[in-house]
A and B are shown apart, each in its own frame.
Chain A
Amino acid sequence: MNLSFFDQFMSPSLLGIPLVLISMLFPMLMFPSLNNRWIPNRLTTLQLWLLHLITKQLMTPLNKKGHKWAIILSSLMIFLLTINLLGLLPYTFTPTTQLSMNMALAFPLWLATLLMGLRNQPSMSLGHLLPEGTPTPLIPALILIETTSLLIRPLALGVRLTANLTAGHLLIQLISTATTVLLPIMPTVSLLTTAILLLLTILEVAVAMIQAYVFVLLLSLYLQENI
């Protein structure tokens, strides 16, 4: 198994059968289904606590209408969190490194918030294009800038997630390749590189969690503006 640096980013397939769906659905197996117990086991308790924390964090700034988005936002959060964290294991395929998947998540959700805003409160959501207190000569330029920033949001969301994860994975690959190659030649430098790799792994764990959180948080922010 001689891996190139592209293999981890290729959509997995076995004998021509694409496995990407399984790799996207696998994280759900990590969460046992809830049973009828009032006092569940430790794993379920922790998952329930995490879910409550996430939902509370996301739903506190939203008004009542925004609470309809609770399920989709918290399930999106758990989905991205698990996929990102599982992708750090060796020989795993991370679906969120694919731009297609992240755009497929970001674009419709952002568009939903935008259309909801334009439909329910059109003047207020168009009013967001101009920040308060701008001096009058700047208004045309600022409207253009704000429109651009609005339209670039889905792109930003998708590409941010993709770029962060892809870059992280690629860095891990490269530094571990350096470690492997240097091991017979200069063991000491190899050990240093291993140290760097350890730190990088810890960073990647953090980045995985943060990126998932940022994605969902930004979506909830767009929702807040437009609800």
Chain B
Amino acid sequence: MLSRLVLRAAPAALRALPPPPVAVGVLHATRQLHTTQQSLAPLPPLPEKGGEVRHGLIPEEFFQFLYPKTGVTGPYMLGTGLVLYLLSKEIYVINHETVAAACILSVIIYGVKKFGPDVAAFADKLNEEKIAKALAVKNEAIDTLQTAIDEEKKEQWRVEGRTYLFDAKRNNVAMLLEANYRERLMMVYNEVKKRLDYQVAMQTLKRQKEQDHMIQWVEKNVVQSITPQQQKESIAKCILDLKALSKGAHATL
């Protein structure tokens, strides 16, 4: 019956409420619902070390809690008293399980003490490797980009020198053309000279041949014209000349 009353009164009551405000997280002006930032990033950093424990089981805060009233030995006295109470009142009975407990606890403590640091180092190494892999990727990306930047700068510098390159090429081409032209001029000159030399040589040869022929003819005629009488006379004259010369030579000696 009361529920029916509430149900009937509900729409009027709802209309009487103030309109919901736009701000998220504030239902009524007097009551905040969310007290934290409600965003997941950035995550708060994990604490470096876990909570401090003494003897592997009891948190350090317990000792600090008891320190003002009972000092340093307080918790230990509490522990001893508790154990003795449990034993003496036989709340805890020493039976075979106690021995088994002692054995398994000693095995566990031995294991933890001996392999604890190694296991922790292994876990740290796993995490380090993970971080190192990501860092390696990041560094590689940075290096690639840096080399890309350097290459780009070099290309830009190269572009500046492009004009010189083209000038040099242009000069090269001009030189080649010039050299080619000169070569061909030379060829023309040589060919013309060859032809003229041929003509000159022909004429020289012809003159030479004529000269030789004439000399031969003259010699032949002269030799023919020498009669035997003249030959004897010239030989006798030569002998007389030679004698005169030899006398003259003897005289000078």
Give the interface of A toward B (CB within 8 A).
1-3, 36-43, 45-46, 49, 88-91, 172-173, 176-177, 179-180, 194, 197-198, 200-202, 205
Binding site secondary structure of chain B: helix
In the assembled complex, the Cα of A177 lies from the Cα of B126 at a distance in Å of 44
Q: Is the CB of B96 within 8 A of A198?
A: no
Q: A198: which B residues are within 8 A, CB to CB?
A: 103, 106-107
In contact, B100 and A37 (Cβ under 8 angstroms): no
Q: Report yes or no: B107 in contact with A202, Cβ–Cβ below 8 A.
A: yes
Chain A residues, Cβ within 8 Å of B131: 39
Chain A contacts for B99, CB-based, 8 A:
176, 179-180, 194, 197
Bound-state CA distance A173–B95 (Å) is 10
Q: Which residue of B lies closest to A178 (CB)?
A: B96
Q: Does B22 contact A (CB under 8 A)?
A: no
A89 touching B104, Cβ below 8 Å: yes
Contact status of A36 and B40, CB under 8 A, knowing A42-B123, A180-B98, A180-B99 = yes
CB distance from A59 to the nearest CB of B (A): 20
**Contact residues of B between 110 and 129, Cβ < 8 Å to A:** 119-120, 122-124, 126-127
Asked if B97 CB lies within 8 Å of chain A CBs, one says: yes
Query: Among the interface residues A2, A3, A40, A42, which one has the most CB atoms of the partner chain B within 10 A?
Result: A42
- Select which of B93, B126, B127 is within 8 A of A1 by beta carbon: B93
In the complex, what distance in Å separates the CA atom of A37 from the CA atom of B40? 11
In the assembled complex, the Cα of A17 lies from the Cα of B68 at a distance in Å of: 43
Beta-carbon contact of B46 and A46 below 8 Å:
no
Give complex CA distance A88, B100 in Å: 9
* B130 at the binding interface (Cβ < 8 Å): yes
A42 touches B120 (CB 8 A): yes
A201 and B127 form a contact (CB under 8 A): no
Provide the bound-state CA to CA distance between A201 and B104, in Å: 6
Q: Are B104 and A88 in contact (CB under 8 A)?
A: yes
The answer on a CB contact under 8 Å between A39 and B107 is no
23 A/B residue pairs, CB under 8 Å, sorted by A: A1-B92, A1-B95, A2-B93, A2-B95, A3-B95, A36-B40, A36-B43, A37-B43, A38-B130, A39-B131, A40-B127, A41-B46, A41-B50, A45-B127, A88-B104, A89-B101, A91-B97, A172-B103, A173-B96, A176-B99, A180-B95, A194-B99, A198-B106
